[in-house]
Structure 1
């Protein structure tokens, strides 16, 4: 028996395709974050993270800024700053933590760039106090499994 597709059957199939796609979740796009969106306010206990940071936590996020000079040439992390910075404020306590930096932990070693060259870093966003067990450095906000590119 030979099967023929009638016009009515074809139209019915075409109408069903969008319904089938409606159940497929859309892939999450890389979210953008700006330095002015990191913190909600300066509360009694210091910096309070913004709702956007809390919502993006655990997701791949991008932020543009500048690379602070690394502490050593073969490091797998750097500090991303809002403005070019010749010195790294990375060893501060969490009470003194600047509101315009975050730490970027690279997923692979990359060649660092000059501190005054704009870059975009992308990685999985994490927030909250964390002390790196290898270096002893403290961070309040960081990107993990990250990479960067010049922009």
Structure 2
């Protein structure tokens, strides 16, 4: 193989992931709502294994309680009201708290969004609002699909 052929082969190999849409080895894992719980408040092995890791979830933004807020509720299905004022015993298995570092730009509750953030688990009560969360995405970024 001559130098020109070698360089062409190397360029083709480097372009392969881009051309095929293949994800890099450092891709953010996707976590689906159905992969959160085994039963009740028991997390799946996958969810426990992703504790502290950046993950991607797809869902809907429940309407926030007030316009200036740094968090929202990510839901499996569109919800026209916020489902977030539950006690630990009533915690629904199809919502996730999504907390940003600054104010969020609200999207319609019927618009599907992709959210990335650090995955945390364990019951936590927000000191400011009194809201209870069991699973959270922290430092989120999101985009409408």
TM-score when normalising by structure 2: 0.80
Give the CA deviation at 1:109: 2.1
> What is the CA RMSD across the aligned residues, in angstroms?
1.3
Q: Could you tell me how far 1:29 is from its partner in structure 2?
A: 2.4
Q: What secondary structure, in the 3-state scheme, does the structure 1 residue paired with 2:124 have?
A: strand
For 1:110 and 1:129, the matched residues in 2 are separated by 23
Structure 1 gaps, min length 5: 1-25
Of 32, 38, 41 in structure 2, the residue corresponding to residue 40 of structure 1 is 38
- Counterpart position of 1:70: 64
Report if aligned partners of 2:71, 2:104 keep a CA contact under 8 Å in 1: no
In structure 1, the residue matched to 2:53 is 59
- 2: CA distance, partners of 1:123 / 1:115: 20
> 4+ runs of 1 displaced by more than 3 Å?
none
Shift of 1:27: 6.7
Query: What number of residue pairs does the alignment pair up?
Result: 122
- Taking structure 1 as the reference length, the TM-score comes to 0.77
Q: Does 1:103 align with 2:101?
A: no
Where 1:53 maps in the other structure, the secondary structure is helix
SS at the partner of 2:47?
helix
Provide the rounded CA distance (Å) in 2 between the counterparts of 1:61 and 1:107.
16
Q: Do structure 1's residue 88 and structure 2's residue 100 form an aligned pair?
A: no
> Which residue in the other structure is 1:79 paired with?
73
Partner of residue 137 from structure 2, selected from 122, 138, 143: 143
Rg larger in 1 or in 2? 1
Secondary structure of residue in 2 paired with 1:61: strand
Structure 2: unaligned runs, 5 residues or longer:
1-23
Contact 1:103–1:139 under 8 Å retained in 2: yes
